[in-house]
Amino acid sequence: MSQHMPVRVFVVVNTASDDARTLARSVVEALGDAGAKVGGVAHDIESLDLGDSSSVDVIADDFPAGSAEADVVVVFGGDGTILRAAELAAPGTPLLGVNLGHVGFLAEAEPEDVTFVVESLIGRRWEVEERTRLNVSLQRDGQQVDGTWALNEVSVEKASRERMINVLVEVDGRPLSRWGCDGVVCATPTGSTAYAFSAGGPVVWPEVAALLVVPLSAHALFARPLVVSPSSSISLDVDPGSAAVLWADGRRTIDVRPGDRLVVTADPVPVRFARLAPAPFTDRLVAKFDLPVEGWRGRQRS
């Protein structure tokens, strides 16, 4: 696409945050003044109070997921808002997050970087980073009856607080173990710092090709987090008598009946992120968790 064509930006905003709305308003106005084509769903755009003279393309709130066509989707909020943006964006459209949440592992920029963000968008200066996402198929009596995808993780969890579930875990067509547990999390490297991290899973660098399997409060001697091949197929068989629910990125749910099977694989279609500057994941990890690195003198040269 020609560098002289106006950049197309789709904005997604955490409308519950005053700071997110204020920052989004200033960026949308700056992009409009520079000739960019800006759009967004009605609920988000109306929350910005842009006025009647705004040229923003307002789209109905109920438009189909995965159909937001743009050169880049810019997100104002935390990781939860970025996950919502991933649902809205057309496949292949990169996401650029401006962090106004708590941790913001998925975000590229902080509020103080907003001038640089606008300049980079107008000049189409960003690199694309691809992240693995998961595909999950819900099978019943040998037939697929439902399915979804996730950027961070999918989890099968007990449907009622008072009863755990029994899940037989299978990797690449071979049985691994049966867990009496609160649930099982299957995560991407991106999701290793989300739910899987809270459940005791390892932190995995985003460029590592792998999938994670993390049991939740399993009553078993062998109940350790697992790292498997990105080409592996992970099956979770829910025993008869176990009522469960499937969660995808903590946003979408599917009821799981006793005897159902969940098949989790890496989706061939990645989620893309727009990166404005090189940023080692190690530095991001240190910054987000405020890790103690005082006194480091750099790599010693011989």
Q: What amino acid positions are annotated as catalytic residues?
A: 79
Here the tokens at position 158 are: 């007990």
Task: Give CA–CA dist 291/268, Å, rounded.
Answer: 34
Task: Give CA–CA dist 78/90, Å, rounded.
Answer: 20
3-class secondary-structure state, position 246: strand
90 DSSP assignment:
P
Residue 265's closest CA among 205, 211, 193? 211
Residues 6+ apart with CB under 8 A from 70: 8, 9, 10, 39, 89, 90, 93
Residue showing tokens 């189409």: 124
Cα 168 to chain centroid distance, Å, stands at 26
Buried b (16+ CB within 10 A) or exposed e, 23-38: bbbebbbbbbeeebbb
CA distances for 165 relative to 78, 141, 237, 242, 270, angstroms = 32, 19, 10, 5, 31
